[in-house]
A and B are shown apart, each in its own frame.
Chain A
């Protein structure tokens, strides 16, 4: 009986030390009165979304190094398209698994030593080479903030993390020309307004020579491959590291790029 009383006083002692339950922190209500659906969520009103979309589009054009602006544009304009993408992922068995398990691609979740040890020509090895050659890291992707649905927030985060995979699959570098080509591919594949806008307005910043190559050869190639390939968001890349890149390209119907563009742009 005495022990019962002592056990009853334990929570009191813990509370006295200032213990705050974890749930209280995550359910913090922001100034709009809406609850946060995921850790980085910032609830926004429709007016704010419109202003953000316009502002981020302008800033991304003015300063192409502002990748966070491209991300914000995608989040604020993509609500309908993300729903369609999510439903399409649910219909595909591999896509449904991705939605269930929610894998993330970052330096902490990737086993870099294992990827290094894979044979040449495999997806994992080529992806690692792409990261090294272009001096990029999967951790530089901004977290989703302005999407008001928790599952759709994951879908757009997955899209962003898969973007580097697309560079590897298509063999495109991370300069302006390569990015525009990948945007055309993504625009056809996903239909996200941000991709469409990027594909249409990105070329403004290119030199005339690159522009000519882009319009005459690269865009038709990207569009064709985009139509032919199944949705790239449905691929569970984490389980395909050992798969040879050539085999994966054949499976998706992606042909090699028409011209060696690493010297351009």
Chain B
């Protein structure tokens, strides 16, 4: 009869209804993993795995690259001015220390990733040129009994002032490369310098190509840091060095408080007043907090296959230089 059939249908629908409402709560609205039969949990796992952080915001992974691109497109023109203002010029010392740690000899092939405006590349060129000049002077001093014709010939020979050193600046952002190229022209750097548009997660180079790989203040903006580290391992020659200069965790709680205050209160204001862009600098200070600390990053570098991984904290841990070798 109709009534019993309706009752049985209703009980069936009743169960169906509660199942439907439970499943409705899953994607994106409920963050707990405790419940979840009937295939609803794997769905939410998938959704969570496809998200990452953009500063303190959570965004889908596919979007992060585009958002970071926009940030650097906006800040490119004022990038150097803002660096000086925000770090009170200390960023120059940090970058100098990175090059001194590298001790490049003339003939080194350097790949500078995320090197947009060329700070590391120019310092590298200055260093190898100075080294090469010193080597030449030493050679001349050692050969005191040369005739003046031979000495004149030595000076006339069109020798490469860099001794065969080359630096390839690779950046994903066109605007940053534009600024870097303009700076190179203004400051007179021509020889030994190349500019390449490329993604740190997928470098447009062959295996075993470079002696040194550097990435200064760039790796925290990469969506998949492990992929960038693997690419670094791939393009380095055996015996090559990996160097990373990046913001890290402050070890001193007293300094940490002032650093946090300065980061969150002053830096976005500076960004607004000088560059007219609050949000990009808010992203910058938030992305620093999201980056792993010195030990964790060291482990990530070791996972990519590097050996003899060490780090050195500078300015009480505000930045750290991580170094590893490919054997």
Q: Which residues of A contact B (CB under 8 A)?
A: 1-2, 4-5, 8-9, 11-12, 15-16, 18, 20, 28, 30-31, 42, 45, 47-48, 51-52, 55-56, 58-59, 66, 68-69, 72, 145
Contact = CB atoms under 8 A, between A and B. Distances in A.
B140 interface: no
B130 interface: no
25 contacts: A1-B6, A1-B12, A2-B13, A4-B13, A8-B20, A11-B20, A12-B20, A15-B26, A16-B27, A18-B47, A20-B28, A31-B55, A31-B264, A31-B286, A45-B265, A48-B268, A48-B269, A51-B265, A55-B270, A56-B272, A56-B273, A59-B274, A66-B276, A72-B272, A145-B278
Given A48-B268, A51-B266, A56-B273, A42 B278 contact: yes
**Majority secondary structure, B binding face:** helix
B268 A18 contact: no
Question: Which of B26, B268, B270 has the most chain A CB atoms inside 10 A of its CB?
Answer: B268
Contacts of A16: 27, 43
A215 to B, nearest CB: 30
Contacts of B266: 51
B94 to A, nearest CB: 25
A55 B275 CA distance: 12
A148 to B, nearest CB: 15
Given A1-B6, A20-B28, A68-B276, A55 B17 contact: no
B273 A59 contact: yes
B109 interface: no
Given A8-B20, A52-B272, A56-B272, 19 more contacts: A1-B9, A1-B13, A4-B17, A5-B17, A8-B16, A8-B17, A11-B24, A12-B20, A12-B23, A18-B47, A31-B286, A51-B266, A51-B269, A52-B269, A52-B273, A55-B273, A56-B273, A66-B276, A145-B278
A45 B269 CA distance: 11
A47 B27 contact: no
Interface in B231-279: 264-266, 268-270, 272-274, 276, 278-279
Contact of B265 (A28, A42, A48, A66): A48
Contacts of B43: 16
**Majority secondary structure, A binding face:** helix
B82 to A, nearest CB: 13
A8 B21 contact: yes
B258 to A, nearest CB: 13
A195 to B, nearest CB: 20
Leading 8 A-B pairs by shortest Cβ distance:
A55-B273, A8-B20, A1-B9, A51-B269, A5-B16, A31-B56, A5-B13, A1-B13
Contacts of B23: 12
Contacts of A51: 265-266, 269
Nearest to B16: A5
B10 interface: yes
B282 interface: yes
Contacts of A20: 28
B10 to A, nearest CB: 6
Nearest to B43: A16
Interface string B274-312: 101011001000100000000000000000000000000
Nearest to A8: B20
Nearest to B15: A5
A2 B21 CA distance: 16
A193 to B, nearest CB: 18
Question: Which of A20, A48, A59 has the most chain B CB atoms inside 10 A of its CB?
Answer: A48
A69 B277 CA distance: 11
A140 to B, nearest CB: 13
A31 B21 CA distance: 33
Question: Which of B9, B27, B57 has the most chain A CB atoms inside 10 A of its CB?
Answer: B27
A18 B273 contact: no
Question: Which of A12, A30, A72 has the most chain B CB atoms inside 10 A of its CB?
Answer: A12
A238 B21 CA distance: 49
Nearest to B20: A8
Contacts of B57: 28
Interface in B12-70: 12-13, 16-17, 20-21, 23-24, 26-29, 43, 47, 55-57
